[in-house]
Amino acid sequence: MPHSLFCRRSASPLIAALSIALATAASAQTSPGPQPAPLPPPIAAPADTPYPGTISLLVDITDVTHRVMDVHESVPVEAGELTLLYPEWIPGNHSPTGPIAKLAGLVVTANGKRIDWVRDRVNVFAFHIDVPQGVKSLDVSFQFLAPLKEREGRISFSSKIVDLPWNEVVLYPAGHFSRQITFAPSIRLPEGWKFASALELKSQNGSLVHFKDTTLNTLVDSPLYAGVNYKRVDLSTDADNRVYLDVFADTPAELAMTPEQLQVHKNMVEQAKKLFASHHYDHYDFLFSLSDTVGGEGLEHHQSSEDGTRGNYFTDWSAGIPGRDLLAHEYTHSWNGKFRRPYDLWTPNFNVPMQDDLLWVYEGLTQYFGYVLTARSGMRTAEDTRDLMAQIAANFEASPGRKWRPLVDTTNQPTVSQRAPVSWVSWQRPEDYYQEGLLIWLDADTKIRELSGGKKSLDDFAKLFYGVDNGSYITRTYNFDDIVTALNTVQPYDWAGFLKTRVYDLHPEVPENGFTQGGYKLVYNDTAPDWMKHAESPRGTSFATSLGFSVTADGNLGSVSWDSVAFKAGITPDMQLLGVNGETFSIARLREAILGAEKSREPIRLLLKRGDQLETIPLTYDGGLRYPHLQRVDGTPDRLDDILAPK
């Protein structure tokens, strides 16, 4: 019916129709409405009882062309209901990031006959199977389809390197703790590829590798790297503390390291031994990929870590200064995170939700010790370390998100966004528990040194808290009170109040006491810090402390700081910077323009592109480049330099 008949020509038929409709509507609202459907029965909760038998697992990664991993499991079973789980909550990710969408081709058979499976309608990580009478073992096969394009996920499988976390290629029975399920893992490698893992080798027949039986817990915690170009470097401090750097690279040339580079890596292991006075592994393997194809990574495990960075790690050493704490950070996690773990972050299997509220210890203290060990080993100079700490504080100074979001709430972010990019970093402050955690632990360290007259430090806390059960890798959990008790044992103080105000309350001031107590103060000037001169960052060069954005060399804005000069002028992160003061954009020209405006007090005119629209935006700003540095305060105790000096 053409509605114009009613709407345009005559009002009266419209009124009549409305009256009828309203009357019908009133009588129609007597229905009670829909009721919720019952949920499927819950999945069996994990119990601390052994799963009978050993599950054999063979992963075939020879299809380098399609980057498809073929998985075969033989699962001992009894007749009746069985639920197989694909790991959902991944340790180190602190969130439900198990890549279930990459599982395909699931086929279950017994005695050569196909058996149906049904995915749980609510928990899509669970597959229900009705095991027929007389069946003693199930053959389970599926594929893991590794991402081919970055938008599908981090590239972990290239024609030269693979990073294989076993949680991606395993289905396991529900109803048991992961430490109570035994696996016999094997891998078939592409011809000529080498491998490394913290798993113990059982036997090798050409490219078919068998590992010793292990628990699901240790299996998932012991990823495997393999590749064409491989070098294993011994970083052990002594026969009892065996540590290896397992380097995989795109090219043989990228494996080469200088004697100085080797030495600082050895120093880092030595300094960690001194800091923690213990180790919690049989041997530790840094699984390290240097690649421009395989994505960057930093994922902790008890006896190894997945580490990945650019191909130029050794060949262009100074380019990597800002990220140089990667290995020290992941290694620290062997103590802080794996051996000692928050009681509610430890879970009995990989499908029980994790609670992340103590990540400001798990990650924040690791971030701090990672910086400290990187400096103590000589992997990064004390000056670069101080300048990078200044940059952390300066970024927080330019981030108003702390006015609404207590630090502890940021520990929910791995589950909130699963590390997807956010539009307004400085307002949302997604995962500040890392960097702000670093500042808070620096505050604590310098406070202990101040109160004890230099006799005690956070090193004593490290020995007390982590230096127990030497050689054991059985996790010991802790809670907030355990942290407070240990700090009080080192140095009595109101540590509960100290941590509550900084972590749990809104704390609008940036926690910079560690600088003052350390003998320094935060200053801003026009001199670029040394690390920035060589640094590469995919997110671009930061002007967060001046105009309020970061920008890549090709002009794409990375982030725009909330309430900054740029923000107030209408600049948004989806813009591209094309011109500066009438000339084509470059990082150098933008710096010159900021310095020029400092003298001339003239606005800086930026030409920006958003979609197909061009816009000239004048920015009134004469504050200079405002590079942050830590400046020594004469006559005060030099505690920060003592913290960063080799022990």
Residue 163 or 250 having the CB closest to Zn ion: 163
Cα distances (Å, whole numbers) of residue 375 to 279, 322, 467: 20, 12, 21
Q: How far is the CB of 337 from Zn ion (least distance, A)?
A: 7
User: From the CB of 114, what's the least distance to Zn ion, in Å?
Assistant: 43
Q: Could you tell me the smallest distance in angstroms from the CB atom of residue 411 to Zn ion?
A: 13
With contacts defined by CB under 5 A, name the span among 187-195, 201-209, 358-366, 486-494 that binds Zn ion: 358-366
- One-character DSSP codes across 237-304: SBTTBEEEEEEEESSGGGG---HHHHHHHHHHHHHHHHHHS---SSEEEEEEEE-SSSPPEEEE-SSE
The pattern of x and - marking residues 214 through 233 that bind Zn ion according to CB under 5 A reads: --------------------
State which residue, 438 or 580, has the beta carbon closest to Zn ion. Answer: 438
Write down the least CB distance from residue 333 to Zn ion, Å. 6
Cβ burial, residue 413 (10 Å; 0-12/13-18/19+): buried
For Zn ion, which is the closer residue by CB, 363 or 432?
Answer: 363
430: phi then psi, degrees, rounded to nearest 5: -55, -55
Q: How far is the CB of 330 from Zn ion (least distance, A)?
A: 7
- The residues in 234-273 that bind Zn ion, with binding defined as CB under 5 A, are none
Give residues with Cβ within 8 angstroms of 113, minimum separation 6.
none
Q: Are 373 and 317 in contact (CB under 8 A)?
A: no
Query: What distance in Å separates the CA atoms of residue 595 and residue 260, rounded to the nearest whole number?
Result: 38
Calpha distance 41→230 (Å, rounded):
49
Task: Determine the longest span between alpha carbons in the chain, in angstroms.
Answer: 97
Which of residues 307 and 445 has its CB atom nearest to Zn ion in the complex? 307
Structure tokens at 460: 């004593």
Binding mask 308-347 for Zn ion (x = CB under 5 A): ----------------------------------------
Q: Considering only CA atoms, which of 166, 168, 161, 127 is closest in space to residue 146?
A: 168
Q: Which stretch binds Zn ion (CB under 5 A): 26-34, 138-146, 251-259, 356-364?
A: 356-364
User: Residue 556 in contact with residue 540, Cβ under 8 Å?
Assistant: yes
For residues 375 and 438, which CB has a smaller minimum distance to Zn ion in the complex? 438
Smallest gap from Cβ 334 to Zn ion, in A, equals 11
Q: How far is the CB of 72 from Zn ion (least distance, A)?
A: 33
Q: How far is CA 267 from its chain centroid? A: 25
Query: How many Cβ atoms from other residues are within 10 Å of residue 546's Cβ?
Result: 27
Residue 143 or 411 with smaller CB distance to Zn ion = 411
Amino acid at 96: P
Quote the CA–CA distance of 395 and 430 in Å, as a whole number.
Answer: 13
* Binding piece for Zn ion, criterion CB under 5 A, among 150-158, 362-370, 412-420, 542-550: 362-370
94/386 with CB nearer Zn ion: 94
Stretch that binds Zn ion, among 116-124, 360-368, 420-428, 584-592 (CB under 5 A): 360-368
To the nearest whole angstrom, how small is the minimum distance from the Cβ of residue 328 to Zn ion?
11
Cβ 363 to Zn ion shortest distance, Å: 5
| Nearer Cβ to Zn ion (307/363) | 363
Q: How far apart are CB 360 and Zn ion at their closest, in Å?
A: 12
Count the neighbouring beta carbons within 10 Å of the beta carbon of residue 457. Answer: 19
Closer CB to Zn ion, 73 or 432, in the complex: 432
Minimum separation from the CB atom of position 370 to Zn ion (A)? 8
Q: Which SS3 state, helix, strand or coil, does residue 391 take?
A: helix
- Please tell me the distance from the alpha carbon of residue 271 to that of residue 387, in angstroms, as a whole number: 22
Least CB distance to Zn ion at residue 366 (A): 5
User: Scanning residues 535 to 594, which ones bind Zn ion (CB under 5 A)?
Assistant: none
Measured from the CB of residue 630, what is the shortest distance to Zn ion in angstroms?
A: 24
* CA 506-509-510 angle, 5° bins: 110
Residue (163 or 363) nearer to Zn ion, CB: 363
Return d(Cα 482, Cα 96) in angstroms, integer.
27
Helix (H) or strand (E) segment spanning residue 562 = none
Min separation Cβ 410 and Zn ion, Å: 14
Site string for Zn ion, 363-402 (x = CB under 5 A): x---------------------------------------
- The whole-angstrom separation of Cα 116 and Cα 123 is 18
What count of Cα atoms within 13 Å lies in the side-chain half-sphere of residue 443?
18
Q: Which is nearer to Zn ion, 325 or 445 (CB)?
A: 325
Judged by CB, which is closer to Zn ion: 222, or 305? 305
- Exposed/middle/buried for residue 201 (C-beta within 10 Å: 0-12, 13-18, 19+): exposed
Could you tell me how many helices (H) and strands (E) the chain has, helices first? 20, 32
Stretch that binds Zn ion, among 258-266, 270-278, 286-294, 355-363 (CB under 5 A): 355-363
Cα 186 to Cα 216, 309, 631: the distances in Å are 13, 27, 55
| Residue range at the interface with Zn ion (CB under 5 A); choices 238-246, 268-276, 357-365, 547-555 | 357-365
Query: Considering beta carbons, is residue 317 or 346 the nearer one to Zn ion?
Result: 346
Stretch that binds Zn ion, among 51-59, 150-158, 361-369, 404-412 (CB under 5 A): 361-369
Taking the least distance from each CB to Zn ion, the nearer of 142 and 362 is 362
| Minimal distance, residue 335 CB to Zn ion, in Å | 12
For Zn ion, give the closer residue by CB, 249 or 326.
326
Q: How many residues bind Zn ion (CB under 5 A)?
A: 1
Q: Identify which of 429, 426, 436 has the alpha carbon closest to the alpha carbon of residue 573.
A: 426
Measured CA to CA, the distance from residue 451 to residue 617 in angstroms comes to 52
Judged by the rule CB under 5 A, the positions of this chain that interact with Zn ion are 363
